[in-house]
Amino acid sequence: MRVAIAGAGLAGLSCAKYLADAGYTPLVLERRDVLGGKVAAWKDEEGDWYETGLHVFFGAYPNMLQLFKELGIEDRLQWKEHTMIFNQPDKPGTYSRFDFPDIPAPFNGIMAILRNNDMLTWEEKIRFGIGLLPAMIRGQKYVEEMDKYTWSEWMRKQSIPQRVEKEVFIAMSKALNFINPDEISATVLLTALNRFLQEKDGSKMAFLDGSPTERLCQPLVDYITARGGEVRLNSPLKEILLNEDGTVKGFLIRGLNGAPDEVVTADIYVSAIPVDPLKVLLPAPWKEMPFFQKLQGLEGVPVINVHLWFDRKLTDIDHLLFSRSPLLSVYADMSNTCKGYSDPHRSMLELVLAPAAEWISRSDEEIVAAVLKELEKLFPQHFTGDNPAKLRKYHVVKTPRSVYKATPGRQKCRPSQRTPIPNFYLAGDYTMQQYLGSMEGAVLSGKLAAKYISEDHPVTSRHLSMAAAGGTR
Ligand SMILES: Cc1cc2nc3c(=O)[nH]c(=O)nc-3n(C[C@H](O)[C@H](O)[C@H](O)COP(=O)(O)OP(=O)(O)OC[C@H]3O[C@@H](n4cnc5c(N)ncnc54)[C@H](O)[C@@H]3O)c2cc1C
């Protein structure tokens, strides 16, 4: 049975992978000339990679880790020390760490918090711990109910001192959804904290050993094609064509460079494109349906990924860093963290600029100048004196609509992967699964879409023998 999937991000590729495992023939149709969507990366003229986003993988990503295992590429994940490192804006050039000892959860997390005395006082830690009790005791149900509050509102409700938000949670909120605590839903931070506190290695981080396009997406494509599937680039979905009964008749694919449009037909159809373009492509009769109307409540949030190549080493830190700067979110010296980008003599900083609404339409030059100014505050030792560090080159990648903006009330807008249309399914990090807008969420959404398809449209022995005889349907 043939399944047409629009979008070759992690959701679309994972959906195709699990469908191929279940005996289907997936055909993935990607708009751009690059795999990976929000994990896409490009090589510049000098052979250096630059990426849509600085990506870290967490221990609390069971479906992603399973996928690496199934593809036989687990060794490509470079696990880092179990710690979280924050810049200290008040003491430039220094860091504060939350080190997780090798003991069971939640004690390793509790110890990490208790042992850090740079950022929080004892009273603040105790009041935060008490505030967190309902989430720890009542679990995910409580966490979901808190979607009516922003993180700032929730902290006030729990009588947690405001300094805790300023010291720790601006950085966490920006890292998780590229927005500040007065905008982000409390559900997002509580979900992450619950995972980190309940799973021993939940907050342990890994970097991929090279570009996600080459080191993660390509193995997925190889896996899919080896099992009879296909992944086509430069194939934008232009229109979802309907039968009279409202089911999907075909995907109309826009012809590029003067080529005619093409109708692709299949037994089943999946949208694995982000929610913003999907809203535009929804056929008129579907727009009336409450299931699809909910999508209007979801919208991608802007973010900018900046790469700076310097003439020398600025750090020897082999880890993710929380900048705690108003302009920036997390960053890493990729010349240390990523084997494929390694350089023993010169740093390449990859930095996430967030919130980015104000910056998204500005020029690359303006953005780089502002980031450099911020770096002078974080590393004054490298940018002052007779021989300041020199910027060799840069790349700026803007994503005007990235993951869905997780403000309060969004949970009820997130759709299931199974839609009311019997031959149409959804995959994508915005669809309902417990991992929010993340790589893990994207992979899980694709897996769930594949699972619902196999439940609703099982592959029969007739399909299998037709496929063996050379037919695709
Ligand atoms: C700066 C940044 C940093 C991030 N950091 C992390 C991190 O550290 N950890 C983490 O877990 N997650 C992180 N994320 C989030 C993560 O990248 C996403 O959640 C995930 O990759 C989304 O996958 P997806 O398949 O749902 O969507 P996408 O990756 O957006 O894939 C959708 C695909 O559909 C294609 N498409 C769009 N329109 C059409 C059309 N008409 N026809 C055909 N194809 C179409 C797109 O080109 C794209 O390839 C980050 C994201 C960004 C932007």
pLDDT tens track for 159-169: 999 988 888 99
pLDDT above 50 for 384: yes
Residue 67 maps to a domain: no
Ligand 1 center from residue 119 Cα (angstroms): 33
What letter would DSSP give residue 39? G
Q: Average per-residue pLDDT in the chain?
A: 95
> What's the pTM?
0.96
Range in 111-120, 219-228, 313-322, 367-376 with the lowest mean pLDDT: 111-120
For 6-24, what is the mean pLDDT?
Answer: 98
Whether residues 280 and 426 share a domain: the answer is yes
pLDDT at residue 473 in the model = 42
Rg over alpha carbons for the chain, rounded to the nearest Å, is 23
Nearest alpha-carbon partner for 5 in 263, 230, 223, 270 = 270
Ligand 1 touching residue 437 (CB < 6 A): yes
> Is 6:272 a contact under the CB 8 Å cutoff?
yes
In a domain, residue 307? The reply is yes
Atom of ligand 1 nearest to the CA of 399: 53
Task: Say if residue 446's pLDDT is above 80.
Answer: yes
pLDDT-derived band at 469, boundaries 50, 70, 90: low
Average pLDDT over residues 3-23: 98
The mean pLDDT of 2-20, rounded to a whole number, is 98
Element (H, E) at 420: none
Q: Is the CB of 408 under 6 A from ligand 1?
A: no
Q: What is the arithmetic mean of pLDDT over 366-387?
A: 92
Q: Is residue 421 part of a domain?
A: yes
Beta pairing partners, 473: none
- State the pLDDT confidence band at 472, using cuts at 50, 70 and 90: very low
CB neighbour burial string for 193-203, b if at least 16 within 10 angstroms, e if fewer: bbbbbebbbbb
Q: 287 and 352, same structural domain?
A: no
Dist CA 375 CA 261 (whole Å) = 48
**Dist. CA 11–CA 449, nearest whole Å:** 9
How would you classify the pairing of strands 424-426 and 268-271? parallel
Whether 225 and 271 map to the same domain: the answer is yes
Token digits of residue 23: 């005996």
- Between the alpha carbon of residue 389 and those of residues 137, 347, 382, the distances in Å are 50, 10, 6
Within-domain flag for 436: yes
Q: In this structure, are 292 and 171 located in the same domain?
A: no
Q: Report the separation in Å between the CA atom of 272 and the middle of ligand 1, taken as the mean of its atom positions.
A: 10
- Both 412 and 271 in one domain: the answer is yes
For residues 288 and 23, give the distance between their C-alpha atoms in angstroms, rounded to a whole number.
Answer: 34
pLDDT of 344 reads: 96
Write the CATH number for 409: 3.50.50.60
pLDDT digits (tens, 9 = 90+) for 74-83: 999 999 999 9
Least confident interval from 111-115, 334-338, 355-359: 111-115
Using the predicted structure, report yes or no on whether residue 217 has a pLDDT greater than 90. Answer: yes
CA of 34 to the centre of ligand 1 (A): 12
pLDDT, greater one: 91 or 52: 52
d(CA 38, CA 10): 8
| In the predicted structure, residue 37 carries a pLDDT above the cut 80 | yes
Among 158, 177, 201, residue at a domain's last position? 201
Ligand 1 pocket test, candidate residues 178, 271, 439, most atoms within 8 A of CB: 439
Provide the 3-class DSSP secondary structure of residue 49. Answer: strand
At 108 the pLDDT is 93
Q: Label each residue of 119-158 as H, E or C.
A: CCCHHHHHHHHHHHHHHHHHHHHHHHHHHHCEHHHHHHHC
Predicted local confidence at residue 429, as pLDDT: 98
% of the chain at pLDDT higher than 90 = 85
Residues 132 and 184 in one domain: yes
Residue 145 included in any domain = yes
273 CB near ligand 1 (under 6 Å) = yes
- Counting atoms of ligand 1 from 1, which one is nearest the CA of 397? 1
- Can you give the pLDDT at residue 466? 67
Task: Check residue 166 and give its pLDDT.
Answer: 87
Q: Are 122 and 161 members of one domain?
A: yes
**What letter represents residue 302's amino acid?**
P
Cβ(277) to ligand 1 under 6 A?
yes
- Average confidence (pLDDT) over 360-371: 98
Number of domains present in the structure of the chain: 3
- What would the pLDDT profile of 104-147 be if each residue is shown by its tens digit? 998 999 899 899 988 889 999 999 989 988 988 888 899 999 99
Whole-angstrom Cα distance, residue 239 to residue 95? 51
CA distance 196 to 253: 43
Confidence of residue 347 (pLDDT cuts 50, 70, 90): very high
Report the candidate in 316, 322, 290, 380 with the shortest Cα–Cα distance to residue 91: 380
Q: Is the CB of 8 under 6 A from ligand 1?
A: yes
Q: What's the pLDDT tens digit per position in 290-327?
A: 999 999 999 999 999 999 999 999 999 999 999 999 99
Q: Is the pLDDT score of 374 beyond 60?
A: yes
**Which of 273, 401, 435 best tests ligand 1's pocket when mutated (most atoms within 8 Å of CB)?**
273
Report the alpha-carbon distance of residue 391 to residue 383 in Å, rounded. 10
37 lines ligand 1 (CB under 6 A): yes
**Band of pLDDT at residue 196, cut at 50, 70 and 90:** confident
Per the domain annotation, does 55 fall within a domain? no
- 95 within some domain: no
The predicted structure's pLDDT at residue 467: 64
Strand bridging mode 268-271 / 2-6: parallel
Q: What contacts 70, CB < 8 A, 6 or more positions away? A: 17
**Residue 110 domain boundaries:** 104-201
* CATH number of the domain bearing residue 318: 3.90.660.20
